[in-house]
């Protein structure tokens, strides 16, 4: 039940601090990828000698059990960068700059941490939030840290005929361009959801490990290649 709840919360947090623009993903012109930094984790997939695909983590949603009941009003009054409006949402929203993340802290002692772009940052952020709660005066403990969702993006390097793809994979995919520019593909193994754009950019969400992200791209790549858009060459006469 916590997993389903985390998914709903993740959607809320994305509205609070959206980290990437769907309009950019759907653009036909591929953007150059920046070099990796300590705050970003890159995964690589090679497919039969083709150019390397870089899979960049965009967000990790993780949960922690602080092991005690919390007075949310006291946390808001004492801690910095904390917001609490029980009429809107039954959790304290807390943010830190390093690593740049957001935490949702519930009176039950459950905590959700989102916004990290690496597992290390997610873990460190969760520990920092736990320490803040301890300083407020609660016997909080860093227990049961679990990754509930990983979201990543990549560019397969070629445009895709989404109309043809949906015709061949209608059992697992939906495509309604008048409502959303991306094709939604639900993969059974690993159990993830992929948003596929005509530009060749792909968003993968629902994974709980980096291995699952890589496997998802590996599994979908040949299907995408089958519907690669060909460059038209017009001869002058």
Lowest mean pLDDT among 43-47, 53-57, 117-121, 145-149: 43-47
Instruction: Kindly state the average pLDDT of the residues 38-54.
Output: 51
Per-residue model confidence (pLDDT) at position 74:
96
What does DSSP assign to residue 19? Answer: -
Give all domains of the chain, ordered by start, each with its CATH number.
20-31+39-59+149-226 (3.30.310.10), 60-147 (3.30.310.10)
pLDDT in tens, 138-147: 999 999 999 9
Q: Who contacts 109 (Cβ-Cβ below 8 Å, separation ≥6)?
A: 65, 66, 67, 68, 69, 70, 140
Mean pLDDT of the chain: 83
pLDDT exceeds 80 at position 137: yes
Residue 171: CB partners within 8 Å, gap ≥ 6? none
pTM value?
Answer: 0.78
C-beta neighbour count of 102 within 10 angstroms: 19
| Mean pLDDT along residues 169-183 | 95
pLDDT of 187 higher than 60: yes
| pLDDT(223) > 90 | yes
Give the pLDDT of residue 180.
95
Instruction: Examine the pLDDT at 32 and tell me if it is beyond 80.
Output: no
Average pLDDT over residues 199-205: 96
pLDDT > 70? residue 48: no
Four-point Cα dihedral 187, 18, 128, 204, nearest 10:
10
Q: Over pLDDT 70: what percentage of the chain?
A: 76
Is the pLDDT at 30 greater than 50? The verdict is: no
CB burial class (10 A; 0-12, 13-18, 19+) of residue 54?
Answer: middle
User: Which residue from 166, 165, 213 is spatially nearest to 193, judged by alpha carbons?
Assistant: 213
């Amino acid at each position: 039940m916590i997993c389903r709840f985390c998914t709903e919360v993740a959607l809320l947090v994305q509205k609070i601090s959206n980290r990437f623009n769907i309009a950019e993903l759907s653009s036909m012109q591929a953007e150059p990828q920046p070099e990796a930094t300590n705050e970003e984790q890159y995964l690589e997939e090679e497919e039969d000698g083709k150019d390397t695909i870089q899979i960049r983590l965009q967000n990790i949603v993780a949960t922690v059990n602080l092991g005690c009941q919390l007075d949310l009003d006291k946390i808001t009054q004492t801690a910095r960068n904390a917001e609490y409006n029980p009429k809107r949402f039954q959790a304290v929203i807390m943010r830190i700059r390093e690593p740049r993340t957001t935490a949702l802290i519930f009176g039950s002692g459950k905590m959700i941490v989102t916004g990290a772009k690496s597992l290390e940052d997610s873990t460190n952020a969760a520990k920092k939030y736990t320490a803040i709660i301890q300083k407020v005066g609660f016997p909080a403990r860093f227990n049961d840290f679990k990754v509930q969702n990983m979201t990543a993006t990549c560019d397969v390097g070629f445009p895709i005929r989404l109309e043809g793809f949906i015709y061949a994979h209608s059992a697992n995919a939906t495509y309604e361009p008048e409502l959303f520019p991306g094709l939604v593909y639900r993969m059974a193994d690993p159990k993830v959801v992929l948003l596929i754009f005509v530009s060749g950019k792909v968003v993968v969400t629902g994974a709980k490990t980096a291995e699952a992200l890589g496997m998802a791209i590996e599994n979908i790549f040949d299907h995408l290649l089958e519907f690669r858009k060909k460059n038209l060459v017009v001869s002058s006469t």
